[in-house]
Amino acid sequence: MLNFHFYNPTRIAFGEGKISELDQLIPADARVLILFGGHSAKAHGTIDKVTNALGSRYSEEFGGIEANPTYETLMKAVAQIKENQLDFLLAVGGGSVIDGTKFVAAAVYEEGDPWDILLSQGAHIKRAVPYGAVLTLPATGSEMNSVSVISRTALKAKLHFASQWVFPQFSILDPTLSYTLPKHQLANGVVDAFTHIAEQYLTYHVDAKVQDRFAEGLLLTLIEIGPELLEKPHDYTLQANFMWTATLALNGLIGAGVPQDWATHMIGHEITALYGLDHAQTLAIILPAMLNERRQAKHEKLLQYAQRVWHITEGSDEERIDLAIQKTREFFERLGVKTHLSDYHIGLDAVDAIIAQLTSHNMLQLGEKSDVSLDISRRILTAAL
């Protein structure tokens, strides 16, 4: 096992009706900014529940945070906070709203150019406005981690930062809030969580037994409940299991003490920046091609994955790895998330464009051993066409 720090200060309030606990979770004298997305949080009554729970606290709203939240929009929230001296943020939404809130929380105190938060990947952050989250879409793990991914439309850039200052103080995980998710968003959530686990599990062997078993347990749970969840979005037990699985997939626990890859995510972010695909769609395209291309580097873990997750025990090593990758692809497709660039009408010319983006963002050596060169990324993209 590798050495590690594990630090996660986020309090989780899990279960139906937990929004009412906002009253205990937020200081009584807080001046609150409620941040949310397009229309779902208002349309489905979540904002009303939040406002009721806040009682007599002073609060304002900031709506309109897009899927793949943009710097341009978020800077308007920063201005509102400064102008009205707000001191507590409440994100109500999925990964985009929570990620956006992380950026806003840090940008309020940024003395230089706030975009530097992204360019320095969060290294210079020294404080942030405290905030909590009400999760409405299980997928990213943003509700219990310190990572944020922000897009800047004008630059066609989608970059990430991380800082211990931007962990949520608390997150409310009420599985009933996900009942209203359209099927494709649920499917996206399953694919995203699945890929988060793969990025931390399918690397090389360091004999981290419990991290491996945790990761396999989470993958098996997604495989077990994913397809059923799409058919029964109002099933509390399915939603509850899904929500907690997605949170555990990226709250630091399974990644502690093991190598981490993230090459699939880095290439995926460029595809979203250029072509606007949903985050999970990009992962469904890249992950199978990535695993196939890097089958030597990941040989031992792919065989373990084949056996323990997909119960493949017959055939040569290469045949078992082939089948495990094929089953991964079939799982995504069964959820309705397509796994080739051409399924999204993206052709060969995209390969050069994506490689140019990776180059300009210094993504020259990706992966758990920093050996995914641009040439290898090119091969992966070509295989994913």
CB 109 within 8 A of CB 65: no
**Chosen from ligand NZQ, Zn ion, none, partner binding at 147 (C-beta under 5 to 8 Å by type):** ligand NZQ
- Measure the CA angle with vertex 288, ends 287 and 290; round to 5°: 60
- Measure the CA angle with vertex 291, ends 186 and 147; round to 5°: 55
- Would the CA dihedral through 138, 148, 66, 109 be positive or negative? positive
Q: Should residue 40 be labelled a site residue for ligand NZQ when binding is judged by CB under 6 A? A: yes
Which C-beta is closer to Zn ion: that of 18 or that of 329? 329
Q: Should residue 110 be labelled a site residue for Zn ion when binding is judged by CB under 5 A? A: no
The amino acid that residue 43 corresponds to is A
Q: Should residue 253 be labelled a site residue for ligand NZQ when binding is judged by CB under 6 A? A: no
**CA dist 107 → 16, 20, 76, 116, 197 (Å):** 33, 29, 11, 10, 30
In terms of phi and psi (left: phi > 0; alpha: psi -120 to 50; beta: otherwise), the region of 315 is left
**Chosen from ligand NZQ, Zn ion, none, partner binding at 190 (C-beta under 5 to 8 Å by type):** none
Q: Should residue 286 be labelled a site residue for ligand NZQ when binding is judged by CB under 6 A? A: no
Q: Which stretch binds ligand NZQ (CB under 6 A): 124-132, 174-182, 235-243, 377-385?
A: 174-182
CB 31 within 8 A of CB 85: yes
Q: Should residue 96 be labelled a site residue for ligand NZQ when binding is judged by CB under 6 A? A: yes
Show contacts with Zn ion in window 166-225 (CB under 5 A): 192
**Chosen from ligand NZQ, Zn ion, none, partner binding at 132 (C-beta under 5 to 8 Å by type):** none
Minimum Å gap between C-beta 53 and Zn ion is 29
Minimum Å gap between C-beta 29 and ligand NZQ is 29
Q: Should residue 166 be labelled a site residue for ligand NZQ when binding is judged by CB under 6 A? A: no
**Chosen from ligand NZQ, Zn ion, none, partner binding at 101 (C-beta under 5 to 8 Å by type):** none
Q: By C-alpha distance, which of 114, 92, 197 is closest to 161? A: 114
Helices and strands of the chain, counted as H and E runs: 15, 8
The amino acid that residue 230 corresponds to is L
Q: Should residue 18 be labelled a site residue for ligand NZQ when binding is judged by CB under 6 A? A: no
Write out the residues near ligand NZQ by the rule CB under 6 A: 37-41, 44, 67-68, 93-97, 99, 136-137, 139-142, 145, 147-149, 177-178, 180-181, 185, 188, 192, 250, 265, 279
